[in-house]
């Protein structure tokens, strides 16, 4: 029986070896997942020569592994005693400053080893499209900002070029009894009060910070991987589907040309964010927004269209180059741009 199985395996392998390189490369391109492709590199010499020729890859970035609870507790106690001694006896003024100052947040909660210099990404020199998915931490956007639904898409070159944000205070499935046809997609328009407007500004700032952090991350990856000059598109999303940073071919060239003075951060340093330029914003609001194609209802629906002040005023184009076909995000954008009343805002760089 063992001999028969070995013969069958050899026969299957022979059939597989008959496949032309072009067909195998097509299969590898359909595979996308970099973790699986990396394993394929070790299968055979033929695979090892073909896999690096793929032009599209998807990388799911894992979260950082945290030490065990006992190790963490011991480390915390030791650190606490050292800080207590230093702060109370050697640096009382510094201690007071640290107590009064806001705590620093560590935005680096994921493992970028595969994208760092000499990481596995260096083997894939023919990549044209790269999609990175960051782990969902549950706290980047959404409920922490008072929004039931909050998604964004941003386009970058050297700096932010455009950003589209959709938010809602309530987001739920539409019940059959609520379904009704009417000429306009909106309820009667209402004016936002100061608190409601302030909440929308918080949504906007949260999304812009998330987008600019990912832009800085992309600059680090490009700096660490100069051997992939053929990249034409990069997207950085997250497992929670809160937002997508998108960069095209021209923007990648622009970024590389502006990175002569950019120093790639070491693997131990925290990821910072790129500066956000002075912005023009157009905010559109609807108290109730029905999405018949998606089957959802939004309450307190808000659309924010953003563009740098240097690029002029904003038209209600809905950021078509960014929106895509994802529902309900795309449907809500295309419905919201029909709202007649809008708020025009300017935000200083930060």
Q: How much is the average pLDDT of 278-296?
A: 93
Q: Is the pLDDT of residue 27 over 50?
A: yes
Nearest to 307 by CA among 327, 288, 283: 283
Give bridge partners of residue 308 from the DSSP assignment.
279
Are the C-beta atoms of 203 and 165 separated by less than 8 Å? yes
Kindly state the greatest CA–CA separation across the chain.
79
Q: How much is the average pLDDT of 241-264?
A: 83
Task: State how far the Cα of 239 lies from the Cα of 286, in Å rounded to an integer.
Answer: 28
Predicted confidence band of residue 269 (pLDDT cuts 50, 70, 90): very low
The first and second tokens of residue 64, run together, are 């950082």
The per-residue pLDDT for 13 is 55
Distances 243 to 57, 128, 153, 277, 305 between C-alpha atoms, Å: 19, 22, 6, 19, 14
Predicted structure pTM score: 0.78
Q: How many CA atoms lie within 13 A of 291 on its CB side?
A: 22
Residue whose structure tokens are 């590898």: 28
Q: Is the pLDDT of residue 182 over 90?
A: no
Burial class (CB within 10 angstroms; exposed 0-12, middle 13-18, buried 19+) of 14: exposed
Predicted confidence band of residue 243 (pLDDT cuts 50, 70, 90): very high
The per-residue pLDDT for 274 is 92
Q: Is the pLDDT of residue 247 over 90?
A: yes
The conformation of residue 129, written as its DSSP 8-state character, comes to E
In the chain, pLDDT over 90 holds for what percent of residues?
A: 44
The per-residue pLDDT for 153 is 96
The conformation of residue 273, written as its DSSP 8-state character, comes to -
Q: Is the pLDDT of residue 205 over 50?
A: yes
- List alpha helices for the chain, DSSP H: 2-17, 21-31, 34-40, 45-50, 69-85, 92-100, 194-224, 249-257, 320-323, 329-336
Average pLDDT, the chain: 79
Predicted confidence band of residue 315 (pLDDT cuts 50, 70, 90): confident
The answer for residues whose C-beta is within 8 angstroms of residue 50's C-beta and 6 or more apart is 21, 24, 25, 28
Q: How much is the average pLDDT of 80-101?
A: 45
The per-residue pLDDT for 143 is 55
Compute, in degrees rounded to 10, the torsion defined by CA atoms 22, 26, 32, 38: -30
Are the C-beta atoms of 238 and 133 separated by less than 8 Å? yes
Choose the most confident range, by mean pLDDT, from 47-51, 82-86, 92-96: 47-51
The first and second tokens of residue 305, run together, are 């269209």
Are the C-beta atoms of 166 and 177 separated by less than 8 Å? no
Q: Is the pLDDT of residue 40 over 70?
A: yes
Q: How much is the average pLDDT of 24-52?
A: 90
Least confident of 68-77, 111-120, 276-285: 68-77
Predicted confidence band of residue 92 (pLDDT cuts 50, 70, 90): very low
Q: What is the DSSP string of 195-231?
A: HHHHHHHHHHHHHHHHHHHHHHHHHHHHHH-TT-TT-
Predicted confidence band of residue 103 (pLDDT cuts 50, 70, 90): very low
The per-residue pLDDT for 1 is 44
The per-residue pLDDT for 324 is 65
The answer for residues whose C-beta is within 8 angstroms of residue 76's C-beta and 6 or more apart is none
Q: How much is the average pLDDT of 177-206?
A: 73
Q: Is the dihedral of CA 26, 31, 34, 38 positive or negative?
A: negative
Task: State how far the Cα of 81 lies from the Cα of 85, in Å rounded to an integer.
Answer: 6
Q: What is the pLDDT of residues 109-140, one digit of tens each?
A: 788 888 888 888 888 989 999 999 999 754 45
Q: What is the pLDDT of residues 295-308, one digit of tens each?
A: 999 999 999 999 99
Task: Between 186 and 319, name the one with better pLDDT.
Answer: 319
Are the C-beta atoms of 246 and 129 separated by less than 8 Å? no
Q: How much is the average pLDDT of 176-197?
A: 64
Choose the most confident range, by mean pLDDT, from 44-48, 80-84, 99-103, 135-139: 44-48
249-257 and 194-224 helices cross at what angle (nearest 10)? 70
């Amino acid at each position: 029986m063992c001999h028969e199985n070995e013969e069958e395996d050899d026969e299957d392998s022979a059939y597989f070896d008959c496949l032309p390189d072009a067909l195998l490369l097509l299969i590898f391109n359909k595979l996308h997942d970099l973790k699986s492709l990396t394993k394929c590199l070790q299968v055979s010499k033929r695979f090892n020569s073909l896999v690096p020729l793929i032009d599209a890859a998807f990388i799911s970035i894992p979260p950082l592994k945290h030490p065990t609870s006992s190790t963490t507790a011991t480390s915390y106690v030791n650190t606490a005693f050292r800080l207590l001694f230093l702060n109370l006896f050697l640096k009382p003024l510094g201690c007071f400053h640290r107590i009064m100052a806001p705590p620093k947040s560590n935005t680096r909660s994921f493992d970028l080893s595969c994208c760092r210099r000499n990481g596995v990404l260096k083997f894939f020199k023919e990549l044209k499209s790269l999609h990175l998915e960051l782990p969902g931490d549950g706290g980047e956007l959404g409920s922490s900002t008072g929004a039931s639904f909050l998604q964004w898409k941003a386009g970058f070159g050297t700096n932010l070029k455009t950003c589209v944000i959709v938010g809602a205070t309530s987001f739920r499935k539409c019940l059959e009894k609520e379904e009704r046809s009417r000429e306009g997609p909106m309820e009667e328009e209402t004016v936002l009060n100061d608190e409601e407007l302030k909440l929308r500004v918080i949504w906007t700032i949260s999304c812009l910070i998330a987008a600019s952090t990912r832009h800085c991350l992309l600059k680090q990856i490009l700096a660490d991987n100069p051997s992939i000059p053929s990249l034409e598109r990069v997207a950085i999303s997250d497992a929670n589907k809160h937002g997508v940073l998108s960069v095209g071919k021209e923007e990648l060239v622009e970024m590389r040309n502006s990175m002569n003075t950019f120093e790639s951060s070491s693997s131990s340093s925290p990821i910072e964010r790129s500066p956000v330029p002075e912005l023009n914003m157009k905010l559109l609001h609807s108290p109730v927004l029905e999405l018949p194609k998606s089957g959802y209802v939004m309450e307190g629906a808000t659309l924010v269209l953003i563009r740098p002040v240097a690029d002029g005023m904003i038209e209600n184009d809905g950021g078509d180059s960014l929106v895509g076909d994802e529902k309900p995000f795309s449907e809500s954008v295309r419905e919201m741009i029909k709202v007649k009343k809008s708020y025009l805002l300017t935000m200083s760089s930060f």
